[in-house]
Structure formats: structure tokens, C-alpha cells
Amino acid sequence: GDFAVMEVAQPKDLEEDFGQAKRRHAELCRQKRIFNARNRILGGDIEAWKVQVCDQKIREATEKARQETFAAEMRQNDKMACILEDRVRRDRKNLCKAINDFQQSFQKSETRREFELSDPLALKKDLPARQSDNDARDTMSGMQKFMGEDLNFHQRRKFQEEQNREWFLQQQREWKMAREDQKRAEDLYLKTRLQFDETAKHLQTLEGTTRKAVCAAVKEFNQNQALESAEKKCQKRKQEQEDNLAEITNLLRGDLLSENPQQAASSFGPHRVVPDRWKGMTQEQLEQIRLVQKQQVQEKLRLQEEERQRDLDWDWQRVQRARATLLSERQLQRQQRELRRALDRSNLGLAKEQLLQKKYMKEIYTNQPTEDYFTQFNTSSR
């Protein structure tokens, strides 16, 4: 006898319906990909390209930040070098100024030993010949004494030696002070360079420590990701084994292998069937499907004809608009040429008038001087 079918949603039917909907959604997505002319013609993965562009921008931003860091370090080094160069230049300038001041103060031309040979006032400063030494004017044949005739020979000799000694000691003191100043400057420069080297070494150490910390964090993150991925794979493998065992059990105990004729009947209604158990459609159903397909083909041809006619109308309107635009542009060009010709004629008339005016003014203000004009100069003392 016939058994009444109770329309109750079983978990198996819900699972089958979900699988059917999933396959239907996948089919729709595939149709969108295939029927999309742009993606089909280009033949590329737009999403992958977007990801690649994003990665490229990230790399460029990282490289730009790295270059900016290097540029900042270079600017800092240049600034330090400029400061040191200014300091060396200032020390050299101070040393030259000190030398010049010393020469102006202690090395004048009057204090030189050979100044008396080129002294312009030597004759005024010179004493008369022999005022003492037992009547110095009593000389033989008018000649003064030759050897040892100098009255203050010993005192002058002693004074010159003392003066030379003082000069030599003063020069030694000045040279010693100059060497000490140079040594202090060199010590300060060396100390500054050592400080800069320590700072650079400290910055390099900080950079290495930061890089190690980043590498350790990345390594720990990768290890965690690897452990998580392994755990997911293990769970997925376990779930697949359970699903396979359940599927084998369902197949052994189900109606598919038992070839139950009612296995294709769906619990959603008499017009619904289970696809994986359905043995095929009847001839009437196939004829109905072919009829619907023919109607769809005719409807598609009609729509294509309408679209073609609409494109022809749009092309005709576009040609008409282009022709009207071309005519208006030609009319505008003719008007501009007429305006230009009128402006040229006006400018030519103005140029002629200006030329005539210049000639007229040249004739009025031109005055040739005569001989009387040149003879009127230098005729009086005023």
C-alpha cells in the first residue's frame, strides 16, 4: 500500500539542502567570474594584484623611512663636522691674531739690532766725533781712533748681549705658550672626537639590541604560528577521519546501496527530489526544459536586436553632435580671423600715425648747433 509522507525536516535533509545551496552559490560565483568580460580578457587575478600593490607600497614606505633615517644621521654627522671645522678655523684665527699682536707689540722695527743701519734719524741721533777720551778731537791726521775707539764699547756690548738674551728668553716663552695652546686645542679636539665615537658606538649598540629584539619577536611569532598551524592541521585531519567514517557508515546503512525506490523523494514536497539519489527526469520534463530554452534563446536574440538598434541610434546622435560641434568651431575660427584682421588693420593705422608723429617731433625738436654756440664758452672768468 501507499505510505503517507510526513513533511518533517530531518537533519540529513537540512545538510543536503545546505550542500545544495552551497553548490548553487559556488556556481553563481563561477558564472560571475566567467561572464565578466573584463576579467576574462585581462586574464589576471585583480585581488592578487591589489595585494601585490599593497605589499609594494609597504616596502616603499619602509625603504623611505630607512632612507630618511640614514639622511638624518648624515645631517647630524655633517653638522658635527661643520662645528669641528668652525672650531678649528676659529682656533687658527685666534693663533694668527695672537702672532700678529705679538709682532706689533714686541717685534717692532725699532727694536731690531740692524735698525740703526736704516734709521732715517741716524744723523740726528749720532753724537759728534770724540767729545771725551782725553780730548777726542786730538787725532792724528784728523783720524779718530781705530781699534777700541768706542768709548762705551764694553757697556754697549754688555747691553746688547743682555738685550739679545732677553729677546731669546721672550721668544722661548712665546713659543712655549703657543705650543701649550696648540696642545690644549689638540687635546680638546681629540676629546671631542672620542665623545663622538662613544656616541656613535652607543647608537650602534642600541640599533643592534633593537634588531635582536625584533628578530626574537618575529621568531617567537613564527613559532606560535607554526604550532597553531600544526594544531589546526591535526584537528582538520581528525575531523576528516570522523567525517569519512560517518560517511562510510551512512552509505552502508543508507538507502543508496539498498536501491530503495523512495530514496529520491524529498521531505520538502512531492515536487522536490534529492539530487544525489535522483535517477533522472521524464521525457515530458525534458521537453518542457527544451521549450523554455528555446524561449530564452528567442528572448536573448530580441534583446540583442534592441541593443544593436539602440547603439545605432546613439552612434547617429553622436555623429550629429560632432558635426554640429565642428560647424560651430569653424564659425568661431572665422569670427576670430575677422577680429584678428580688423585688429591688424587698426594696429597698422596706429603704427603709421606713431611713425608720422615721431617724424614730426624729430623735425620740431632737432636743432643743429652753430659756431656761435661753441664760442660762448670760456669767455669770462665766471
Report, as an integer, the average pLDDT of 141-146.
64
Higher pLDDT residue, 274 or 84?
84
Query: Distance of CA 72 to CAs 61, 75, 78, 86, 196, Å?
Result: 16, 5, 10, 21, 16
**Side chain identity at residue 92, one-letter code:** R
- Which of 36-50, 69-83, 94-108 has the weakest average pLDDT? 36-50
Task: Please tell me the predicted confidence (pLDDT) of residue 5.
Answer: 44
Name the band, by pLDDT with cuts 50, 70 and 90, for residue 136. Answer: low
Half-sphere exposure of 131 (CA within 13 A, CB side): 4
Report, as an integer, the average pLDDT of 258-267.
66
pTM over 0.85: no
Task: Please tell me the predicted confidence (pLDDT) of residue 4.
Answer: 41
Gap between the Cα atoms of 87 and 99, Å rounded: 18
Gap between the Cα atoms of 219 and 5, Å rounded: 62
Report, as an integer, the average pLDDT of 122-145.
67
Residue 16 has pLDDT above 60, yes or no: yes
Report, as an integer, the average pLDDT of 235-257.
83
Residue 217 has pLDDT above 80, yes or no: yes
How many separate helices (H) and strands (E) can be counted in the chain? Answer: 8, 0
Q: Give the residue from 243, 106, 250 showing the smallest Cα distance to 166.
A: 106
Name the band, by pLDDT with cuts 50, 70 and 90, for residue 239. Answer: very high
Residue 380 has pLDDT above 70, yes or no: no
Task: Please tell me the predicted confidence (pLDDT) of residue 376.
Answer: 75
Inter-residue contact 278 to 264 (CB < 8 Å)? yes
CB-based contacts of 138: which residues, under 8 Å, 6+ apart? none
Higher pLDDT residue, 5 or 141?
141
Residue 52 has pLDDT above 70, yes or no: yes
Residue 115 has pLDDT above 90, yes or no: no
